[in-house]
Amino acid sequence: MLNTAWLFPGQGSQYPQMGRHIWHEALADDVLELAESISGLPLRSVINIGPESCLRSPEYLEPCIVALQAAHVLLLKKSGLQPDTVAGYSLGEIGALYAAGSLSLVDALTLASKRGKILACHSQKGSWSTRAVAFEEAPLTLPFDGTSNVFIAAYNSPCDFSITGESIHIQTVEDVLLKGGATLSPVAVDGPWHSPLSAECAKETAELLVSLEIRPPRVPVCLGTTGAFQMDPAAIRTSLSRQIASPVRWTDTLETLWTSGVRATLEIGPSRVLTSFLRANWNQRAYHSQFLDRQGGRATNFAALKALHTSALQTLIDKEKSWTKSA
């Protein structure tokens, strides 16, 4: 049984001064310095000072987020915490693969940096929009099928998904969705990611991955392109290359984690987006979730986090054992 999953968010989770609670740690500072060296960009300045427009650009955003995630992973493992399995949402899959030992720190930061540059280049080739769409109940049908040049970019829960496409087409579909009772909000990304419109990005990412070593992960990795576990490096490489042109199947990912026995999660990265998706998918189930985001700048007590996480997980395991005996 896989009890604890570490979850890694992607683009859209960023905010100014993210990670301010850990950059004072020597390990974290070293990771950020390495990320700056690999990317050739002033990531520390962009995070702490801005401008915020840079934090939205994939060229800066991708290495910044993966550096923050890698720093958290190092500090968590130093404190004695280890995952039973990992999963990452889009870009977050790079952080997840690093945590699983499938990517080295240098290769994870290199992949994030070069992928970010690929995406930044293609984001300038059109006028794109991405929207989060939420219904009170799961819709039976949707007003588009791809022929409208609008695509589902992510399946986040039965009632929550993202759409992407050219802005003019998004506006047309948006009007129909609003009339159908949906609520929509913009997603802070710079291109039509996770749709066929990003096929060229996927091709260039595949060429980039040829030079990077992908090792067998030490713990199962649940891939966002399939929502299934994968341990084979060749299959992981293929998934990474296709990822940016394929929808994120987060609903399937969370269901796979639950079926495998995951009852506790730790969200590693800026914001707490994936924790909210947990509530939408596991709302009638008993589980424990935590996140490392500290927007107020408070330091993370990793020893206390370990004790709380271990205690909560044991409580859930004991409850499941008692339910099984009484069934």
For the chain, which residues make up each domain, given as ranges? 4-124+195-326, 128-186
Q: Decide if pLDDT at 79 tops 90.
A: no
Kindly state the average pLDDT of the residues 145-164.
85
Asked whether 46 and 111 are in contact (CB, 8 A), the reply is: no
Condensed to tens digits (0 to 9), the pLDDT of residues 1-42 reads 568 999 999 988 888 889 888 898 999 999 999 999 999 999
- CA-CA distance, 61 to 86, in Å (whole number)? 21
- CA-CA distance, 271 to 287, in Å (whole number)? 20
The strand pair at 160-166 and 264-267 is best described as: unpaired
Condensed to tens digits (0 to 9), the pLDDT of residues 199-210 reads 999 999 999 999
Rg over alpha carbons for the chain, rounded to the nearest Å, is 19
Least confident of 18-27, 269-278, 305-314: 305-314
Name the average pLDDT for the chain: 87
Kindly state the average pLDDT of the residues 102-113.
98
Cα dist from 305 to 2, 265, 266, 278, whole Å? 19, 12, 10, 19
Query: What pLDDT score does 298 carry?
Result: 57
Q: Which range has highest mean pLDDT (21-30, 170-179, 224-233)? A: 224-233
Query: What pLDDT score does 129 carry?
Result: 86
Query: What pLDDT score does 21 carry?
Result: 85
Side by side, which strands form the sheet with 221-223?
228-230, 221-223, 85-88, 4-8, 264-267, 288-291
- CA-CA distance, 238 to 119, in Å (whole number)? 18
Kindly tell me the burial class for residue 56, based on how many C-beta atoms sit within 10 Å of its own C-beta (0-12, 13-18, 19 or more): middle
Query: What pLDDT score does 312 carry?
Result: 57
Asked whether 287 and 26 are in contact (CB, 8 A), the reply is: no
Least confident of 188-202, 281-295, 313-327: 313-327
pLDDT level of residue 327 (50, 70, 90 thresholds): very low
Query: What pLDDT score does 326 carry?
Result: 45
Q: 128-186 has which CATH code?
A: 3.30.70
> Is the CATH number 3.60.15.10 carried by domain 4-124+195-326?
no
In this structure, is the dihedral angle defined by the CA atoms of residues 177, 143, 134 and 87, taken in order, positive or negative?
A: negative
